[in-house]
Amino acid sequence: MRGKLVRDKMLERREGLRFRPRANCYFQDLSKKIHYNECNVCKIDNIGSGGLAFLSEQRCPVNTKLIFTIALVDKYPREPINALGKIIWIHDSEYPRKYKIGVKFINMLQEDRLYLTRQFN
């Protein structure tokens, strides 16, 4: 799987490169009471081994912790990536009633982090 490599003005603040994947992504907000199988669907704008940016209809405060399940569309099937992340920024997006949210991964399996890193080689 190869996504489009992303380079923009935020790059110097990031931990590693990002790419635009084809993926299904779901998240749960740890600050809210979660019911079994209740999750939010989001569209990933870009992802890398250090974090991701996504679009959401929900505005979540900075420092909110989220649990992600990310199923990358790849020619070789693999288990989804599960990660704990913290919102580090939020902006209005170019789409009505949607927000672009930046997340730093704070807990992820090392093999998943390596898998994301290898997408650039």
| Alpha-carbon dihedral angle through residues 84, 26, 114, 106, given to the nearest 10 degrees | -10
Mind listing the pLDDT tens digit for each residue in 4-52? 444 444 444 555 666 666 777 888 888 776 655 567 888 888 888 899 9
Rounded CA-CA distance 78/46 in Å is: 19
Taking only the tens place, the pLDDT of each residue in 76-120 is 677 899 999 999 999 998 888 889 999 999 999 999 988 888 775
Delineate the domains of the chain, giving CATH numbers in brackets. Answer: 4-118 (2.40.10.220)
pTM score, two decimals? 0.76
What pLDDT, on the 0 to 100 scale, is given for residue 39?
73
